[in-house]
Amino acid sequence: MPNLTTIGFDADDTLWHHEKYFVATKERFSELLADRAPRGETERLLHDTEIANVGLYGFGVKSFTLSMIEAALAATGGRLPASLIGEIMTLGRAMLTHPVDPFPGVQETLEALKPAHKLLVVTRGDLVDQERKLAASGLLPFFDEIEIVSDKTEAVYERIFSRHGNGPDRAMMVGNSMRADVLPALAAGAWAVHVPSEHVWSLDLADDPTGSARFRRLPRVAEVLPLVAAIG
């Protein structure tokens, strides 16, 4: 039996673009309110509201849409026309229909890993939206299990890698978030590969781990293949 039996992949900004739609929507949001509140203030309010709401609403587009409305109300002292709330909701809804194109090399990598490994998706976000993106990506057939979780913690990785594999010791997590994909997976005892993305949400940032023999940083998902071969 190989040393490494189970490989988990983050979804957004690891398998396909996602954060760029948040970046563009935040830009549109600030433009919508530009006549009513200073831009820097709007951006700061949205950022703080998003962070504060994660614990209540969880991760994903629905939570973000509620945060946009809340931040717009705060930025305008509550003087926000209903038509603008409608426009903000339209911005949020558009994020639930964006195209899902896997990054180059992702499909080939999953294809190559599948015969000898159990492949998982471990993602946060809205259940319906994450399922839509997985279906639209065409990648669903490559995965043995999909885990859509409310948060990514050491305990969550421990549970997932034990339930679907041979425990964290023989598992690897691959993702673009140092805070959510790498650090808790390492803490659980798994290998963890950081694949940096073009855009990163502030809540996904964290310092590199120190002295961890099971941490790697690779420029592309495809480069997981030689690493997996080396681990055996």
Question: How far is it, in rounded angstroms, from Cα 61 to Cα 95?
Answer: 7
224-231 and 106-113 helices, crossing angle to 10°? 20
Cβ-based nearer residue to Mg ion, 10 or 158: 10
Cβ-based nearer residue to Mg ion, 65 or 176: 176
- The SS3 of residue 160 is helix
Type and span of the H or E element at 164: helix 154-164
Using rule CB under 5 A, residue 10 touches Mg ion? yes
Which parts of 22-41 interact with Mg ion (CB under 5 A)?
none
* Binding mask of the shown chain, residues 113 to 152, with x at each position contacting Mg ion by CB under 5 A: ----------------------------------------
Which parts of 154-193 interact with Mg ion (CB under 5 A)?
176-177
82-94 and 19-32 helices, crossing angle to 10°? 160
Least Å distance, CB 174 to Mg ion, is 10
Cβ-based nearer residue to Mg ion, 30 or 176: 176
Least Å distance, CB 176 to Mg ion, is 5
Using rule CB under 5 A, residue 6 touches Mg ion? no
Using rule CB under 5 A, residue 12 touches Mg ion? yes
Give residues with Cβ within 8 angstroms of 122, minimum separation 6: 8, 9, 10, 147, 149, 152, 156, 157, 160, 173, 175, 181
